[in-house]
């Protein structure tokens, strides 16, 4: 491990059955003066369904990319919320992938409010509750004002991969990103490019 695990590594895959493995990764990383910012994935802990152990370790290693399963409306009561609470501790987080099934687009807001260095945001296999489709632009705009959503000008690209297209979420994101950001929807072999965000 000492020879193989270096700051240039991007991925470690597999399944781990002991927490000692993660402690070893951190102890190796502490010997380097460089951060492990290229690291995007490490093995999953077999006894950790929500990925908290992997996320905490990635935070300690200061990885630049992270993938999170966001949960339904009761998300705040799950251990996944512990992962989300760590996001502002990722000093070099540039890429974030959100996947899962949620009841409302507004659940995305507390996640993004923890991320101030993001450059790319990907929604993968995301499904939002059907009742959300009735939300209009004015409702979203009012919500954005009430909840004091601020623009994150570091965020340059947003992509929807195999995800249900949600106009309310798009409207929220337009209010969250800078004028030069792009929003793209990818479906099978075809891209639907929405172009630069015009406010």
pLDDT tens digit string along 99-110? 877 777 888 898
The rounded mean pLDDT for the chain is 78
Where would I find the beta strands (DSSP E) of the chain? 15-16, 44-45, 65-69, 95-102, 120-128, 157-161, 182-187, 190-196
Mean pLDDT check: name the lowest of 60-69, 86-95, 110-119.
60-69
Query: Does residue 192 register a pLDDT over 70?
Result: no
Mean pLDDT check: name the lowest of 35-44, 102-111, 164-173, 183-192.
183-192
What tens digit of pLDDT does each residue of 169-185 get? Answer: 888 898 888 777 888 88
- Please give the average per-residue pLDDT across 121-143, as a whole number: 76
Residue-level pLDDT at 26: 87
Q: Specify the 3-state DSSP secondary structure of 62.
A: coil
Q: How far is CA 111 from CA 33, 45, 48, 68, 85, in A?
A: 30, 23, 21, 10, 8
Place 162 in a pLDDT band, splitting at 50, 70 and 90.
Answer: confident
Residue-level pLDDT at 195: 47
């Amino acid at each position: 491990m000492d020879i193989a695990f270096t700051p240039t590594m991007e991925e470690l895959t597999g399944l781990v059955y002991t927490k000692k493995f993660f402690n070893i990764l951190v102890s190796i990383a502490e010997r380097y003066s460089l951060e492990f910012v290229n690291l995007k994935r490490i093995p999953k802990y077999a006894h950790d369904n929500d990925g908290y152990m992997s996320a905490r370790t990635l935070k300690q290693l200061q990885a630049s990319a992270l993938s999170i399963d966001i949960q339904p409306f009761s998300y705040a009561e799950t251990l996944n919320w512990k992962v989300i609470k760590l996001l502002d501790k990722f000093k070099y987080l540039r890429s974030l992938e959100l996947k899962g099934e949620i009841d409302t687009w507004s659940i995305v807001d507390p996640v993004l409010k923890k991320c101030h260095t993001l450059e790319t945001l990907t929604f993968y296999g995301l499904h939002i509750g059907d009742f959300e489709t009735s939300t209009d632009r004015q409702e979203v705009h009012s919500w954005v004002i009430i909840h004091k959503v601020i623009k994150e000008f570091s965020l340059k690209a947003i992509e929807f991969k195999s995800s249900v297209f949600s106009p309310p979420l798009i409207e929220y994101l337009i209010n969250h990103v800078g004028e030069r950001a792009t929003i793209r929807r990818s479906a099978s072999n075809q891209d639907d490019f929405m172009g630069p965000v015009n406010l």
